[in-house]
Amino acid sequence: MNLGEILRTSLGEIRHHKLRSSLTLLGIVLGTLSITVMTSLLSGVIAAVWAGFTDLGYDGVVIVGQQAPRDSTEKAIFARSRGLMPEDVRVIMGRRQIVSEVAAVQEHDAIVKGDGVERKARVLGVTPSFATVRNRRVAAGRFLNDADMESFARVCIIGHRLRVSLFGTDDPLGRTVAIAGRPFVVVGIGRKLGNRFVNDSDFVEEMEGVIIPLSTMRKFYAGDESPLSYLAVRTREVERLADLEAEVKASLTLAHRGATDFRVANIAEEILRFRKQAKVQLRNWQIVLGAIAGVSLLVGGIGLFSVMLIAIGERLYEIGLRKAIGATDLQVFLQFLSEATALSLFGGLLGCVLGVVVTKLVEGAFTQGLPIHPDGLALALLIALVLGVLSGLYPAIRASRLEPVEALRSAA
C-alpha cells in the first residue's frame, strides 16, 4: 500500500463516518475560528486605541497657558508682561533647539449660522502650524495657510459634527456661514476625531466648532491686545520632553521680561504614560483571549484523540485483516495518523474561512477596520495541524502494534 492509497483510504473513512467526522471537526473548527477572530479583533482594538491617542494630538506637545498672579509681588512682576501673545511664537522659534513647531490658539464662543440653522460653537483662531502641531487634517477641502493669516481672510474650517448640524448631507465647501454675524467661506471640513476606545470632551467641542485664522480672530473678535488662550509647542524628539519644557520656559521668561505669568503643562508625558498603561492592558488581553482560543482548540484536539481511539475499537477486524494480507506496521500507522491529520487540517481550514467571514461581518463596528492577518491564519492552521498530529499519534501507534490474530479474535 503506497502513500497515495493510504491517503485515499483515510479520506474514504472520513466520508464513510460523516456524523462522527462532523462532530470531531466541530471542536477544531471552533478553535481555529476563535484564534482567527481573536487575532483580528485584537488587531482592530489596538489600531483603534493608537489611532485615538494620535487624534488627541498631544504626542511630543507641551501646552502653555496663562498663569494668574498668586500674590501682590507676583502681580507687580506680571505687570511687566502683556501675557501670551502671538509674538511669543517668534521668540520660541528664534531660540529653538529641540522645538520643531509652535501653534498659537485663541478661543471664542459664538453663534454660527449656516443654511438657516444656528448653533452655539467654540471658535478657534489658530496659526497654520496648528495642523502639524496638533495633528489635524481635513476630511475635505484644505487647512488654513499663511496667505489666510496675512490677508485676515474670512475663511473657516467647520467641524465634522457642525457640518452635519448646519448642512446635513450637503457639501458645505465654498458656502458661507455667519460667525457672530460676520460671513465666512467654508474652505475645509474637519474629520471625525476619536472612537469608542479613546474619547475626550475636547473632541466633541472641536467637531462641533469652527477654526479660523488667528489674525482674523484678533481683528474681528478678540482684539489685538488680548492674550492668547494657549500655545502648543511640539518637538519630534519625544524622548526629550523635559528638555522641551525647560526650553519653552526659558524662552518665554526672556520674552516676558522675567515674568513667569504662564504655566507649561507637559501633556506629552501624560500621553506617554497612558500609552504605556494601555500597552500593558492590551498585552494582558492578548494573553487572556489567546489562552481562551488555545483552550478551545485544545478541547477540539482532545475530542479528536478520543474519536481516533474509538475508531480503533470499531475497526479491529479491518486492522487485523489488513495486517494478515501483508500491511506493515508503518502503513497502518500512517493510515490512522493521516486520518487524524486530514480531519484536523480540514477543520482548521474551515475554521479560518468562517473566522474571515465573521471578521468581515463585524468590521463595520471598528472605525479603523479589522485587518485579516495572514500570520494569524497561518498560526491557527499550524496549531490545528500540530494538534492533529499529536492527537493521532498515540492511536496510530496503538493500531500499528496490534497483532493480526489478536485483532481478528477481538473483533469476532
Q: pLDDT by residue (tens digit) across 292-341?
A: 777 877 887 887 888 777 777 777 777 777 777 777 888 878 877 887 88
pLDDT on residue 1: 47
Evaluate the CA torsion angle 236, 242, 245, 251 in order and state its sign: negative
**How far apart (Å, rounded) are the C-alpha atoms in residues 342 and 348?**
10
CB distance 206 to 190 below 8 Å: yes
Q: What is the pLDDT of residues 274-303, one digit of tens each?
A: 888 888 888 888 888 778 777 877 887 887
Alpha carbons within 13 angstroms on the beta-carbon side of residue 334 total 14
Q: Block means of pLDDT (10 residues each) for the chain, length 412 residues?
A: 53 61 76 82 82 88 90 84 92 93 95 93 96 93 96 96 93 95 96 80 89 96 91 92 93 91 90 88 83 78 79 74 78 81 84 87 72 78 84 83 69 54
State how far the Cα of 228 lies from the Cα of 125, in Å rounded to an integer: 9
Residues 6+ apart with CB under 8 A from 273: none
Question: Which pLDDT score, from 0 to 100, does residue 128 have?
Answer: 96
For residue 165, the model assigns a pLDDT of 93
Q: Is the dihedral of CA 313, 318, 323, 324 positive or negative?
A: positive
Backbone angles phi, psi at 137, to 5 degrees: -120, 155
Degrees to nearest 5, angle at CA 35 with 33 and 39: 120
How much is the pTM?
Answer: 0.73
Which residues are 102's β-sheet partners?
233
**3-state SS, residue 226:** coil
Q: Of the candidates 409, 210, 404, which has an alpha carbon nearest to the alpha carbon of residue 322?
A: 404
Crossing angle (nearest 10°) for helices 404-411 and 316-324:
140
pLDDT the model gives residue 98 = 94
